[in-house]
Chains A and B, each alone.
Chain A
């Protein structure tokens, strides 16, 4: 991605999963951006990027929802998203979704301004983090859409490596999907369970106390499975993890 000059103001698109299940992670992302001296704007009219319907074959419904977001980000300030999956939807799929529609140009313009949070922290803000936390071993779960749609692979790990007391142990099968896949987890619960089972085993193998990720879909799935299996490791969104580290708790 081509880095842009450091802006003074950014938009924040929280995503519906963060909104309902991980609002603290969402807030942590906002605070990380604020700590770099940025004005963060959170348009209260936002809801969802439209991905669930888009991937299920209901493109007209997806379009309706995506269109409701388009007017919320006037101007050209960057739009930061604490989720690789929703960022991928907006950046990569909105232009397709709006193809041939009257507001296609606007969708393309908005899509071009979308950044995944860690990508933005590293490439645009070049953040330098000071670790105030206790020593801890963590592992990183790469969400499929973050890595393959947004090209986010090294950024979160680079952030974690800035933290002096954090030992990062990589997963054996870092690139492998955890089995959430939106409606997939519901349509094919047994396969999804097998996939998250392999993921949990991989996490356990690292001996990490935390599995950090940038996507709340993956976290719902992985954390849920860790808890249900009474495993020692816990899942956490990277924004919240980073915020806790720099505040020393």
Chain B
């Protein structure tokens, strides 16, 4: 295994061994699933809104290059400075440039998955700039020194008791109270002071409208609004796929997102940012920047099958419904995007050498495909990545990185046996006569029999029974 590659198997073992974590996730995900189901109780309505949202995303992707050009033009006209970053390093450098120019000491951030992808916080801290996450969940995770475990609910892996403990340890004068209202209030007090003092506010973007140059950001707590309006400078980050064509394309996206994610009909705040403070206006930042990140997205875009990955609106519903994610939680993936969407997006961004194992952490049950509000064929793309992981020369970075001579030999032996009726008959005869003698301590069998009895080969195959009972062959 690649020395740098995160070890999902090991990380998930650790997660599974933590009963608290498993309980937290099971409960949280069961709740989210039923809340979402209540939102879409009307199957006809679900089919309709889903088709609409998928078509909005498809249309945007079908003309992505021209929409991005248009977005740059309209944003610029609105007074937003647009920056392009091919890599996360470039995006970080752009952010640092702006921060240095305005001599920023303190940054407040609204939730942004792209900056997670960039590891921006670490970069800023290394540069001596204080950065504070203001979304309550992100704030908790930041205090805890970990990463978000869910793209919508970053601290979903923790319960109130654990959070109370954390606050007590990390926040001055905090009382030890396992009371959600108290804890929220405490966090708010800390954050309010920081909003006033911050030099720069950062945020993500849920949708950027090409026609009007509007950046849309939805959130529940108002912290995103603080980040984007209080500090004198605002920097928004987006992956280049976030562009939509028209203003009327936004409602389907921002209605489906919270309904799919948390089962809320709509979020508390819908921010529409169309530029910096104008002369005579009393509030809003004086500078607004938009950083548009590629980081492998344009090569995903170039492949017609993989392109569907970019339809994602980051609602997290696929995680909530993924039987693997709900067992191990988001940290086990050690990736900015966990769960089903992570299993297809992260290997494409970071390459198969580092992430080639991710698409295998899946039973291909298709629960994510059933739930995805924009109809991404997640499992098909996963299948494609499995092929590319063992076959050099494909479209995905580091194709063939997981090629194994042994594995290839096993499958070609399997194919030879199953492609010849005679070979199959001999092999199944041998298995049904001798298979049960295999000791449970055999490597693969051992894993299986840890929690299950050994599969028992029947003495006679169905082929034998059918023949004996005179079932015709042709």
Asked, given contacts A20-B457, A43-B474, whether A180 binds B363 with beta carbons under 8 Å apart, the answer is yes
Q: Answer yes or no: B471 CB below 8 A from chain A CBs.
A: yes
Q: Looking across the interface, which residue of chain B has its beta carbon closest to that of A29?
A: B462
| A186 with B363: CB separation less than 8 A | no
Q: Answer yes or no: A35 CB below 8 A from chain B CBs.
A: no
| B463 with A44: CB separation less than 8 A | yes
Which B residues from 312 to 365 make CB contacts under 8 A with A?
323-324, 327-328, 360-365
Asked, given contacts A27-B469, A68-B419, A193-B451, whether A41 binds B323 with beta carbons under 8 Å apart, the answer is no
Q: Answer yes or no: A194 CB below 8 A from chain B CBs.
A: yes
Which A residues from 46 to 99 make CB contacts under 8 A with B?
46-48, 50, 52-59, 61-62, 64-65, 67-68
Q: Which of these, B415, B432, B456, contacts A61 with CB under 8 Å?
A: B415
A41 contacts which chain B residues (CB < 8 A)?
Answer: 471-474
Binary contact track B446-463/A, C-beta < 8 Å → 1, others 0: 011111111111101111
Q: Answer yes or no: B420 CB below 8 A from chain A CBs.
A: yes
Q: Answer yes or no: B70 CB below 8 A from chain A CBs.
A: no
Q: How far is it, in angstroms, between the C-alpha of A47 and the C-alpha of B364 when the chains are bound?
A: 22
B431 contacts which chain A residues (CB < 8 A)?
Answer: 20
Q: Looking across the interface, which residue of chain B has its beta carbon closest to that of A196?
A: B451
Q: How far is it, in angstroms, between the C-alpha of A52 and the C-alpha of B410 when the chains are bound?
A: 12
Nearest CB on A from B297, distance (A): 23
| A228 with B419: CB separation less than 8 A | no
Q: How far is it, in angstroms, between the C-alpha of A160 and the C-alpha of B222 when the chains are bound?
A: 52
| A179 with B448: CB separation less than 8 A | no
| A54 with B383: CB separation less than 8 A | yes
Give the A-B pair count, Cβ closer than 8 A. 204
Binds A, one of B39-47, B137-145, B385-393: B385-393
Q: Answer yes or no: A161 CB below 8 A from chain B CBs.
A: no
Q: How far is it, in angstroms, between the C-alpha of A22 and the C-alpha of B459 when the chains are bound?
A: 10
A175 contacts which chain B residues (CB < 8 A)?
Answer: 367
Asked, given contacts A47-B418, A191-B327, whether A23 binds B452 with beta carbons under 8 Å apart, the answer is no
Binds B, one of A105-113, A121-129, A217-225: A217-225
Q: Answer yes or no: B84 CB below 8 A from chain A CBs.
A: no
A23 contacts which chain B residues (CB < 8 A)?
Answer: 458, 460-462, 464-465
Q: Answer yes or no: B95 CB below 8 A from chain A CBs.
A: no
Q: Looking across the interface, which residue of chain A has its beta carbon closest to that of B9?
A: A188
Q: How far is it, in angstroms, between the C-alpha of A228 and the C-alpha of B424 when the chains are bound?
A: 31
Q: Answer yes or no: A247 CB below 8 A from chain B CBs.
A: no
Asked, given contacts A61-B411, A144-B366, A179-B323, whether A194 binds B22 with beta carbons under 8 Å apart, the answer is yes
Q: How far is it, in angstroms, between the C-alpha of A67 and the C-alpha of B431 when the chains are bound?
A: 24
Q: How far is it, in angstroms, between the C-alpha of A220 and the C-alpha of B391 when the chains are bound?
A: 31
Binary contact track B210-243/A, C-beta < 8 Å → 1, others 0: 0000000000000000000000000000000000
Nearest CB on B from A180, distance (A): 7
| A14 with B462: CB separation less than 8 A | yes
Nearest CB on A from B469, distance (A): 7
| B451 with A225: CB separation less than 8 A | yes
Q: Answer yes or no: B38 CB below 8 A from chain A CBs.
A: no
Q: List 28 A-B contacts (CB under 8 A).
A: A12-B471, A14-B466, A16-B418, A19-B428, A20-B432, A21-B458, A23-B462, A26-B462, A30-B469, A43-B473, A45-B421, A61-B415, A65-B414, A65-B419, A68-B420, A144-B365, A179-B323, A180-B363, A181-B362, A181-B365, A185-B448, A188-B324, A189-B450, A191-B328, A193-B450, A193-B451, A195-B324, A221-B452
